[in-house]
Amino acid sequence: MQLTTQPTGTPVTAAYWMSHAWLGTHVEPDVLLEVSDGRVAAVRTGVGTPPPGATVLRGLTLPGLANAHSHAFHRALRSTVQVGSGTFWTWRETMYRAAARLTPDTYYDLALATYAEMALAGITAVGEFHYVHHAPGGTPYANPNAMGEALIAAAAEAGIRITLLDTAYLAAGFGEQPDRHQLRFSDTTADAWAERASLLKGDGDLVVIGAAIHSVRAVPADQLATVAGWARERAVPLHVHLSEQTAENDACLAAHGRTPARLLADHGVLGPGTTGIHHTHLTAEDIELLGTSGTGTCMCPTTERDLADGIGPATELQRAGSPLSLGSDSHAVIDLFEEARAMELNERLRTRRRGHWTASALLEAASAGGHAALGRPGAGTLEPGAPADLATVALDSVRTAGPVPRLAAEAAVFAATAADVRHTVVAGRHLVRDGRHTRIDDVPGALASAVAALHA
C-alpha cells in the first residue's frame, strides 16, 4: 500500500473508496481518499476492499470539474435559438430579450436549476461572468448587488463553489453609449462599477469575488486600467471576452489602430491573473502577447461552434505559454467532457492531424486549469491539501463500457457525457449520489419552471 498524507493532525471526517481514480497522469485502481475539514487528508493506493464506513464510488473518479465561463441566464435560450439562421449578432437579440425578463427572484430560480445541472455533470465550481446588474432601464436595485447576490445564493443552495466575475459593461461599442438593452448592464463608469463591486463579499473558499471586462468594445480604453487595477489590488481573477468576433477586431483596429489583445496589453490588463475567453481570431503577435504574459485561455467549444464563431488557436496559445481552461458559456449543453473532446476534435478538423492533447491533458484543462483560472490554485487534483471535490464517471454505461480500466481516462474524455456522472462530492460532502442531486429532488422540473418564467 502506498500512502500520502497531509501532515495536519486533523481528524478524518469522511472516506471515499474509489474503484478507479485518475491521479493526474494515470488511472489507479483501489484508491482510498480520506477527507478532513473539506480537504483531502490522505490518498492511499492499493486498498483492495472498501474499509468499514467508507463511501464506495464505482467508476472513474476525477477531481471535481471547473466550468470556467458561464452566463447562467443563457440556459433559458437552449433550443429557442436553434430556430432559423443568422450570426452571433442575431443570436444576441434573442439573448437580450431573455435578459430583459430577469429579476433577482427569477434569476435565483434559473441559476439554482442551472447550477444543479452543473453538479449533475460533475462540475464543482463555476465562473459566473455576471453583467446583468440593474433593473431594466438601468435603475439600480435598492440593494445594488441584488442580482449578484442571487447568483451566490443559488450556487450555495445547489452545493457548488462560485467565482462571481462581476463584469464591467459600460458601452455598446467604441464611442457608443449603451443601448436600451444594455442599460441594465452598465454602471456608467469604471469607478462606479468598482464602487458597487467592492460591496460584494466572498469567503475565499466557496465564494470568490473576481472581476471581468466584458470586452474591449464594452469598456472604453481609458477605463480598462481601473478594472484591471481593482482585480490586481485584491489578487482576484480577471476575465475578459477577447477576439470572439472578427467584427469586433475590425472595429478595434478602426478605433485604436491595434488589435484587442494589444489594446489590453497596453492598458495593463494581460498577465497571470487574467483569463481571456474564446481567443478565436488572433494574430501571431496576439498569441505571443498572451503567451509571454501568462494570460490564460478559456475555450468554450460548444458555444463557439453553436454561434458559428470559429475555432481558436488553442494549441499555439498553450505552446506560447497560455494555460488552458474550459467553459460551457451559453449552455447550449452543460458537459465538460464534450468541451474537452471538442477542443481536440476541432483541432483535428482544423489541422487534419490527430492527437494534439492526451486525455490527461484535456482532463487537466477541465479540472485544475479551470480551478486555477477561478482563483483556486491547488484545486482540481486528488492530492493531500486539495479541496475534497470529486466527480465519478460510470464505466459501465453504453458509452463507456468495453475499454480496459487503464483506458478509463480516454473513455471519459472521448466517449462519456454528463449523463454518465454518477457521483459529485464538494468539500467532502456527497452532493450527487447515484445520479441524483441530494438537495434538489427534481432538477429537470426546476429548469422547466425557471425557463418558462422567462418566456411567459
- State the catalytic residues: 278, 329
Can you spell out the DSSP letters for 377-425? Answer: TT-SSSSTTSB--EEEE-SSSTTT-SS-GGGHHHHHHHT--GGGEEEEE
Can you spell out the DSSP letters for 178-222? Answer: --TTGGGG--SSHHHHHHHHTT----SSSEEEEEEE--TTTS-GG
Q: Which residues contact 421 (CB under 8 A, 6 or more apart)?
A: 120, 121, 122, 391, 392, 393, 394, 432, 435
| 401: amino acid identity, one letter | A
Q: Which residues contact 442 (CB under 8 A, 6 or more apart)?
A: none
Give kind and range of the element (H or E) at residue 365: helix 359-366
Main-chain dihedrals φ then ψ at residue 156, nearest 5 degrees: -65, -45
The residue assigned the cell 436553434 is 82
All cell numbers assigned to 334: 452543460
Residues 43, 48, 53, 57, CA torsion sign: positive
In angstroms, what CA-CA distances link 16 with 4, 26, 40, 48, 88?
A: 15, 19, 10, 13, 45
